[in-house]
Structures are given as C-alpha cells and as structure tokens.
Amino acid sequence: MSADPKKAQPVHNPIEINPETCVKCNLCDWICPGDLIYKEEDNRETLPVVAYPDECWYCGLCQSICPVDAITIVFPDEMIHCKTNVVDLLGKVVE
Amino acid sequence: MNTDWNTLDTDVLVIGGGVAGCMAAIPALEAGLDVVVCEKGKVLDHCGSVGCGVDHYLTVMESGPEWDTPEFLIKHVPQLTDGIVDMAVTSRVIHEMPRVLRRIESFGVDFKDPRYGDYYRLRSFGLPGTYHINFDGTEFKKHIGQQVRKKKGTVLTRTMAVQLLTEDNRVYGALAFNFRTSEWFAIRARAVVLAAGEVNRLSLNASGVAFDSWHCPYNTGDAHRMGYNAGATLTNMEFIESTLTPKGFSAQGLNAWVSEGAHFVNKQGERFMFKYDEKGENARRAVIADAVIMEYLLGNGPIYADCRHLPEDVLDHMEATLQVDRYTMPAFYEQKALNFREEPVEVSISELSIRRSGVYFRGSGLAVDTDAQTSVGSLFAAGDCASVSGGIAGASVLGHIAGEGVATHLKKPQGSLPDIPMDTANAIREATMAHAKIEDGIGWKDFEQQTRQTVSDYIGVRRNEKGLKLALDELHALADKETQLRADDLHGLMRVQESKSIRLSAELMAHASLARKETRTRSSHRRLDFPDKDDAHWRKFVLVSQGADGPNVDTLSCDEPLAAAFGRLETKAVPNVG
C-alpha cells in the first residue's frame, strides 16, 4: 500500500481550523451539510476534527457560522490551478 | 451497536429537509397533521441545495403587464422545454407561483433589493420576461426551516432513509438509520413525500475533486432509488444537465453572469453565443452549456466569461453579491489571484447531473400528478427529484402543492396501515450494516469513481447505441459488486447507500437514453446516431419503472399528463417503445 505514491499523498484539508482562536463551540459540526466535521459535544476542551476532508463541498457554511472566524477554506491546487483538458470530460465516441 | 428499533407512527413522512421537503411539511403541519422530516444534515435552516444561500427566484408576480401573468408564461412552456413537459402539472405550478411567493415572504424572506426598495427582476435562461428576482437569499432556507420547527414538525437529523415500505402499490412508511448513533427507525406513515433532490456525483468534473459539484454533492438520487424500488414510474431520466463554472470550481453563478450581461468568448476572442441562439447569452442554460461544449469540441477552447465591458455599478453589484450563491466564491477568486473585473475568467462545463436538463419545468425523476402524487399510492414527490422542476421556486411551489395534496389525500378514508414485517426490516438493516464488516471488497469511493468514468465516457454529452450498451455492461458489472461495497464506519454506510443510488440513476439514464432515438435539447440528449429532433415519433415521455428483470421502458405522448400512465388511476394503456 505504502508503495503507491497516490495513496501516500496526504488528503488535502479544505477546512483549516485555527486551534488558537477556536472556542470549541460545536457550530461547525452542527452546520456542515456533509457530516464532515466532528466535535465532541459538551466538551469545551476538544477541537473539532475534519473527519472526511475529501468529501467537502466547499460551501463555506462552517466558515460563515464560526463566531470567532477561526475557519479558513483552502482550495486544493487542482481546483485553483486546474489543468484538465475540458474536452476529456466530453465523452468517448464508440464506433 | 444499538440493535433495538425506534418505531414511529406519523401522518406524513417527508424524506429530505431541503426547500421542497420543508415547503411540503408546512401546509401538512398547518392542516393539523403529524409530520416527521428525515434529513441527512443536522439542521433544517441550512441543509439542502441552498442551505448556504441562493441569489435568484423564478416567479410570475401578476404585477400588471401581460408577460407577468401565469397564462403568458404557460404559453411559452412548450418552447422552453422543446415539447417534453407535463403541461397539467406545470400549469398548476405556474398558477400557484404568486401565492407561494407571498407565503414565503410571510415567513420573513425579503426578496426586495435594498438599493431600490423593490424587486430587482432580470431576464435570463431564455425566459420570455424578467421572471427572475435577483435577491440576497443568504437566509432563504433559514426562514423556511424555521417554519417547520415553529409548527412542531419532528426532525430526524443525520438520518438516512434507505427503503420505503409498500403494500399493494401504496406506501406506508420507511426504514431509516442515524449515521452518527446507529439508531434505526421503523416509521409508519399515512403518506410519504420524497424530496431528496437531484442526482449529483454522477460524472467527472474539471477539478477531479469528487465532491466539487455545482449542486449539493450530498444529493445523490436517493429519492429516485427508493421510489424506483417501491414501483414508482420515473421520467426524463435520459436528459443530463450541466452548467458553466469557473474552471476548477463547480459552483453556482451562471445566472449572475448572464443576467448582469457577461459575454462568453473563445480563445480567438470571438463572442460565439449568437452562433448558437438568437438570444445570445440569454439563451436557455442547456443551450449555453451546449454552445460551450461545441466550442471546446471545435478546438476553440479555452472559453472565458468576460465582464470587462460592464459598467462599474454592475461590476460593483456582481462583486458584492458574489458570495450569495456560494459563500466561498470570493475566496476562490482570491486564492486564484483572479480579478473578474479586469480579466476574463476561464470557464469549464460542470459535471453532469440528473435534474432538469438545463430547461425550466422539465424535471428528471419521479413522475407526479397535479397534487404531486407519484404512481404509487400515498407517495408524493417534489423538488429536483420530481418531474416538474424549476429551481428553488419550483421546489417551493411543488413542495407546497405536495403538502396540500397530502392534507387533502389524508382526509379520504385510508384504512389502517399494515404492520411493518420486522423480519424483512431486520434483513434490510443487516444488509445495510454488513458493508461495515467487509474487509476486502470495493471501497465506495472507487465504486463511485468507476460510475462517474462510465457516465462521462459513454452516457454523457455524446451518446450512441454502442456506447450506451457498453455503459450498461459496466454498470451491471458494478451492480454485481454492490454487496461487496465497503464502508469504514457509520458515515461510510451512509455513503455506500448514496453510491448505490448514483449507480442505479446512471443505469436508468442509460436505459432511457437508449430508448429515445433522436436528439433533443442539444447536448441534454445528443444521440450521434440519431442527430435530429424527431417530433413525429418522439414528442413523448420516456418512462422507466422497475420490471421483473431490470427496468421497464415505456413511452407516453406528451399530449397526455404523466398521470395517464399511473396504474393507480383508471387510464388508457401505455404504448410500448417500438
């Protein structure tokens, strides 16, 4: 498994949570439409965890609701500098 | 793991707490019915396709001029849909638009533009008038979700329905599980409303990031699958929908571009849209998407959205409202170091979805009658999983019709509900949970990626019989692997269900595409082996429903309402595909 370079790459984290400013309030877990962010309830000591970073919609609801602006949405390189040839998305013609 | 069942009895079960589901729940609650909403998100205020906002709303308002009347818009619907549309249901939806708009305003949604103290209405997507209210809908969903809570609807959050319960072509509930707690629910209901949205994560996108989709990637055809398995008839499944997005980020925003006056240009700097439609950038979404597809295939890509000619005040407004449809759009431009005011934005075709094929009022999904009831008794559908769809307004109006339809339906004697056969329920629960015990098998992400590759390659925007048959072979091979789908945890069990819904939707799409031997609405259904529109033979709905050995495919003349094909009504027989 570890010999596979694709699998060795870390998964991009789209939801950066600043541990210094996060008030551990649970709102990001509460609002995430994709069930990505897990925060232990009723525990003001633990940080939220982005459990499924590769399932993010980049909707920004977590960022929008964070009361202390502790969340930054970071787009991965393949979105920011997308190199895909659009024609490759347009199908194959089977003769 | 909790192995006990939570059993609930209710009047109405709504599956999906987005706009359509909430708008269905509201009139049902007002009629004094008990309503349970089953929702994969955590909070009604922010779940569904527009949980993070919406910037336009299609409606007639009866403000005075002839174009602003239901009759005027209805007259143009055949043209907007290329003749494939259920006029009975669409006419009811359009007639209800002004009333539902006022209802939503009464919930606290402010459709007016603070710059003018009035509605800011613009023309786009081929509509014959300025029917779109452009507005700040950041809190649109919040107001609607709040109504359900205020009216004491019961909401099961982080809960996924997996199977409807039916007897004698009538639905009487569903089985569902909470993917945070593993609690299972056996819900008996006198009526069920399916409102789980469209089918996304269906094909490849430019970024290659699977959940980077124009519309909510957590809408995956679950209603289509549950309805199909319950015996409901689906229609328009052959039509794909795509849009234009900034390349690399499949996000909403095309309406803002075209309604505010952006131009699309190819690599030669040519403004090409008028080659494809006399309305130019104001053409229907399906036409805009097709024009860009054709330009790319002609070698004229990259394609750009160009706003540089627009007046400063328009650019200011576009910039100020950039985040309304998608909160993160300003961050995307910032991280890309791109200023759309000063440079063209490279655009891509988005991934494909099964929704409403880039035209208003022709929804792809569960066929419904004028009360939003499907071909299965007591089973209703609304929103982007239903056969009449019109964006957030369509979801609002048909959802409201469904809620009122349920209330009317339940006034009639229904008889007692069957007991849930717990041996069957236990078997379904066991099969669902078994995916977490598989150690080898196939991960749901790999399974989905294979579905997406198949859809893009052979069921996408350039179809022919050989390719579609090849796609069916591959999708059937994937179906054989479904019992071996592997989930790592409870959350993964939910995704496994979604993966199955996506695969089945793709299969239905391939079957319906094979049946329609013509090309209609350009790349929404382009058959390279039948390149022309054929009104003489194909002004028909393609209907799919579950058969003994795979999907049954039938057709119905578009001169008939879809309800004419419903077995629960005494109507004429449906002709078969030749």
Residues B389-406: tens digit of each pLDDT: 999 999 999 999 999 999
Query: Quick check: A32 contacting B, CB < 8 Å?
Result: yes
Q: Which two tokens stand for residue B114?
A: 């603070």
- CA–CA dist B102, B372 (Å, integer): 21
Please check whether residue B361 is in contact with residue B390, taking contact to mean a CB–CB distance below 8 angstroms: yes
Strands (E), B419-539: 442-443, 485-486
Q: How many Cα atoms occupy the beta-carbon half-sphere of B359 within 13 Å?
A: 26
Query: Quick check: A29 contacting B, CB < 8 Å?
Result: yes
Averaged over B414-439, what is the pLDDT? 96
pLDDT of B571 > 70? The answer is no
| Inter-chain CB proximity A57 and B40 less than 8 Å | no
B444-454 vs B490-515: helix crossing angle, rounded to 10: 20
Averaged over B446-470, what is the pLDDT? 98
pLDDT of A4 > 70? The answer is no
Complex ipTM value: 0.95
Mutate to test the interface with A, among B179, B180, B181, B207 (most CBs of A within 10 A): B207
Chain B nearest CA to A7, separation (Å): 13
Averaged over B464-478, what is the pLDDT? 98
For chain B positions 301-320, those within 8 Å of chain A (CB to CB) are 301-303
| Inter-chain CB proximity A89 and B460 less than 8 Å | yes
Averaged over B85-93, what is the pLDDT? 98
Which amino acid type is present at position B262? A
pLDDT digits (tens, 9 = 90+) for B256-267: 899 899 999 999
Please check whether residue B187 is in contact with residue B155, taking contact to mean a CB–CB distance below 8 angstroms: no
**DSSP for residue B457:** I
What sign does the CA torsion over B228, B91, B93, B404 have?
A: negative
pLDDT digits (tens, 9 = 90+) for B205-243: 999 999 999 999 999 999 999 999 999 999 999 999 999
| Inter-chain CB proximity A75 and B331 less than 8 Å | yes
pLDDT digits (tens, 9 = 90+) for B366-393: 999 999 999 999 999 999 999 999 999 9
Q: Which two tokens stand for residue B168?
A: 């004698």
Chain A nearest CA to B328, separation (Å): 6
- CA–CA dist B101, B68 (Å, integer): 14
Chain B nearest CA to A40, separation (Å): 12
Strand partners, A17: A71
pLDDT digits (tens, 9 = 90+) for B541-554: 999 999 999 999 99
Averaged over B412-416, what is the pLDDT? 88
Q: Which two tokens stand for residue B55?
A: 């910037």
pLDDT digits (tens, 9 = 90+) for B46-65: 999 999 899 999 999 999 99
* CA-based R_g, chain A, Å: 17
pLDDT of A61 > 70? The answer is yes
Residue B415: the pLDDT is 86
pLDDT of B572 > 80? The answer is no
Closest-CA residue to B506 (of B353, B322, B317, B350): B353
Query: Quick check: A11 contacting B, CB < 8 Å?
Result: no
Averaged over B317-346, what is the pLDDT? 94
For chain B positions 489-508, those within 8 Å of chain A (CB to CB) are 491, 494-495
pLDDT of A28 > 60? The answer is yes
pLDDT digits (tens, 9 = 90+) for B289-331: 999 999 999 999 999 999 999 999 999 999 999 898 899 999 9
**The sheet that has B234-235: what strands, in order across it?**
B365-366, B234-235, B540-547, B550-557
Query: Quick check: A5 contacting B, CB < 8 Å?
Result: no
Please check whether residue B165 is in contact with residue B417, taking contact to mean a CB–CB distance below 8 angstroms: no
- CA–CA dist B281, B262 (Å, integer): 8
Averaged over B525-532, what is the pLDDT? 98
pLDDT of B570 > 80? The answer is no
Residues present in chain B in total: 578
Cβ atoms within 10 Å of B426's Cβ, excluding its own: 15
- CA–CA dist B351, B452 (Å, integer): 9
Chain A nearest CA to B75, separation (Å): 34
Contacts of B417 (CB under 8 A, 6+ apart): B9, B172, B173, B188, B189, B190
- CA–CA dist B307, B263 (Å, integer): 7
Closest-CA residue to B524 (of B291, B257, B300): B291
Give me the phi and psi of B139, to 5 degrees please: -110, 15
Q: B262-289 burial, b if ≥16 CB within 10 A, otherwise e?
A: bbbbbeeeeebbeebbebbbbbbbbbbb
Conformational region of residue A26, where left means phi above 0, alpha means psi within -120 to 50, and beta covers everything else: left
| Inter-chain CB proximity B494 and A57 less than 8 Å | no
Averaged over B87-105, what is the pLDDT? 98
What is the DSSP track for B307-325? -TTS-HHHHHHHHHTHHHH
The helix or strand, by DSSP H or E, that contains position B57, with its residue range, turns out to be strand B56-58
Contacts of B98 (CB under 8 A, 6+ apart): B59, B60, B61, B62, B70
For chain B positions 274-303, those within 8 Å of chain A (CB to CB) are 293, 296-297, 301-303
Q: Which two tokens stand for residue B335?
A: 């991280």
Residue B128: the pLDDT is 95
pLDDT of A2 > 50? The answer is no
| Inter-chain CB proximity A30 and B43 less than 8 Å | yes
Q: B202-235 burial, b if ≥16 CB within 10 A, otherwise e?
A: bbbbbbebbbbbbbbbbbbbbbbbbbbebbbbbb
- A-chain CB neighbours of B349 within 8 Å are 86, 89-90
- CA–CA dist B133, B120 (Å, integer): 6
Lowest-confidence range among B376-380, B510-514, B569-573?
B569-573
Q: Which two tokens stand for residue B373?
A: 């009831």
Query: Is residue B75 packed enough to be buried (19+ CB in 10 Å), middle (13-18) or exposed (0-12)?
Result: exposed
Q: How high does pLDDT run on average in chain B?
A: 95
Mutate to test the interface with A, among B211, B242, B304 (most CBs of A within 10 A): B211
Contacts of B39 (CB under 8 A, 6+ apart): B16, B17, B21, B47, B155, B156, B157, B158, B159
Closest-CA residue to A12 (of B447, B495, B208): B208
For chain B positions 534-573, those within 8 Å of chain A (CB to CB) are none
| Inter-chain CB proximity A95 and B48 less than 8 Å | no
Residue B255: the pLDDT is 86
Query: Is residue B113 packed enough to be buried (19+ CB in 10 Å), middle (13-18) or exposed (0-12)?
Result: middle
Query: Quick check: A92 contacting B, CB < 8 Å?
Result: yes
Rounded to a whole number of angstroms, the distance between the first and last alpha carbons of chain B is: 52
Please check whether residue B457 is in contact with residue B467, taking contact to mean a CB–CB distance below 8 angstroms: yes
Strand partners, B37: B14, B155
Mutate to test the interface with B, among A40, A55, A57, A74 (most CBs of B within 10 A): A57
Q: Which two tokens stand for residue B424?
A: 């069957």
